[in-house]
Amino acid sequence: MTDVKAPDFKAVARAEAFARRAAAFAAGQGQAAEILADFLAPHRGKALSGYMPMRSEIDPLPAMAAHQGPVGVPVILEKAAPLRFREWSPGCRLVEGAFRAMIPEEGAWIEPQVMIVPMLAYDARGYRLGYGGGFYDRTLELLRARGPVLAVGFAFGAQEMAEVPVDGFDQRLDAVVTEKGVTLFG
Ligand SMILES: Nc1nc2c(c(=O)[nH]1)N(C=O)[C@@H](CNc1ccc(C(=O)N[C@@H](CCC(=O)O)C(=O)O)cc1)CN2
Ligand SMILES: Nc1ncnc2c1ncn2[C@@H]1O[C@H](COP(=O)(O)OP(=O)(O)OP(=O)(O)O)[C@@H](O)[C@H]1O
């Protein structure tokens, strides 16, 4: 056997995390978006990245709409590369981008100082599990090398896992916001 161990662990964790997130999505997100907006309020004026929710992801759009300052959403320009972020505003015209994510039809590129990060699962150390593209890991690595970036995971509380499987590239979150409240990672 060669190097299949770590990817297998992630694939197993992803399957379980998808099921747990779908159940939580069906139950509803309560006040999660309001808690997120309150958490982000002190960061007014900074460039923020959010995302267009897909599948059973928790919906951050109300918090993005409440942000006073530029807001962008992720655009995949190529595989195995960092994400770019195109300026978004409520009701802007959208088109389908790579991997079926919706992206603004037009708009300036922004460089986020605060990022709302989607995920399948997270753990108490602040590690997260995504869809396996490595996009957020590459993006955080790049932006953190340039300056301070606050990575705020947004998830249902049920998405917490005991230990997310990690590899050497995984970037930790600074905080996670759920419908139950805010967790800061040291
Ligand atoms: N709302 C939202 N937008 C986002 C992300 C996200 O996680 N959430 N992304 C965060 O990165 C990027 C999209 N990344 C994605 C990466 C993979 C798949 C996907 O469907 N992967 C297949 C497997 C593909 C393969 O193995 O080649 C799958 O899961 O079935 C979807 C989105 C950019 N936009
Ligand atoms: N900064 C990086 N440089 C090179 N390879 C990377 C980097 N970040 C992640 N990778 C690789 O990309 C692949 C996918 O990473 P991983 O499974 O952690 O994605 P993910 O965090 O689930 O997805 P995403 O960040 O897109 O939500 C892995 O093979 C990983 O080693």
Q: Measuring CA to CA, which residue among 14, 129, 176, 130 is closest to residue 186?
A: 176
Instruction: Mark the ranges of the chain whose per-residue pLDDT is less than 50.
Output: none
pLDDT in tens, 88-114: 999 999 999 999 999 999 999 999 999
H-helix or E-strand spanning residue 37: helix 32-40
Which residues approach ligand 2 with their CB closer than 6 A?
10, 129-138, 141, 167, 169-170
pLDDT in tens, 7-25: 589 999 999 999 999 999 9
pLDDT of residue 8: 84
pLDDT of residue 186: 87
H-helix or E-strand spanning residue 136: helix 135-146
Q: Considering every ligand atom shown, identify the ligand nearest to the alpha carbon of residue 129 and give its number.
A: 2
Tokens of 174: 């600074």
For the full predicted model, state whether its pTM sits above 0.80: yes
Which residues approach ligand 1 with their CB closer than 6 A?
51-54, 57, 74, 76, 83, 99, 101, 118, 130-133, 135-136
Domains of the chain: 9-184 (3.40.50.10420)
Dist. CA 178–CA 132, nearest whole Å? 22
pLDDT of residue 59: 98
> What's the complex ipTM?
0.92
Measure 165 CA to ligand 2 centroid, in angstroms.
Answer: 12
Helix (H, G, I), strand (E, B) or coil at 148: coil
Return the beta strands (E) in 9-66 as ranges.
48-49
Ligand 2 atom nearest residue 128's Cα: 21
Dist. CA 101–CA 51, nearest whole Å? 9
Q: Considering every ligand atom shown, identify the ligand nearest to the alpha carbon of residue 73 and give its number.
A: 1
Render 70-134 in DSSP notation, one character per residue: -EEEEE--STTS--EEEE--TT--EEE-GGG-EEESS--EE--SEEEE--SEE-TTS-EE-SSS-
H-helix or E-strand spanning residue 181: strand 181-184
Measure 31 CA to ligand 1 centroid, in angstroms.
Answer: 26
